[in-house]
Amino acid sequence: MPRKVLYNICLGCGGCIGVCPFLALNLDKGYEVVVDTETCTDCGTCTKFCPVGAIVEV
Ligand code: SF4
Ligand code: SF4
């Protein structure tokens, strides 16, 4: 299963976008991080990286 972002926790730092090896994380028009569920391989890199634990398994 892909990941999802907990927007009530996310700081909006954008760091996770740079660490995704599959380029599955992007900013939407409202500058929120969104997961491309078709591209996400559930590798877990973003979840390990996020300093506040805002990316979780769906
Ligand atoms: S690394 Fe975490 S806090 Fe930063 S933008 Fe990504 S989900 Fe939000
Ligand atoms: S789980 Fe892996 S592939 Fe999916 S968004 Fe996070 S870093 Fe990218």
Q: Ligand 1 pocket: which of 5, 6, 13, 48 to mutate (most atoms <8 Å of CB)?
A: 13
* Phi, psi angles (nearest 5°) of residue 47: -65, -40
pLDDT per residue as tens digits for the range 20-39: 999 999 999 999 999 999 99
Give dist(CA 19, CA 13) in Å, integer: 12
Residue with tokens 């979780």, as numbered in its chain:
56
Q: Which one of the ligands is nearest to 50 CA?
A: 1
Q: Per residue in 35-55, pLDDT tens?
A: 999 999 999 999 999 999 999
Expressed in angstroms and rounded, the spacing between residue 30 Cα and the centre of ligand 1 is 15
Q: Is the pLDDT of residue 18 over 80?
A: yes
Residue 8 gets which letter from DSSP?
T
Per the model's pLDDT, the better-predicted residue between 37 and 1 turns out to be 37
Count of beta carbons in the 10 Å neighbourhood of residue 8: 6
Going from N- to C-terminal start, the domains of the chain cover 3-57
Determine contact, residues 15/50, Cβ cutoff 8 Å. Answer: yes
pLDDT in the model for residue 56: 97
Q: What pLDDT is recorded for position 1? A: 77
CATH among 3.40.47.10, 1.20.1440.230, 3.30.70.20, 2.60.40.1180 for 3-57 = 3.30.70.20
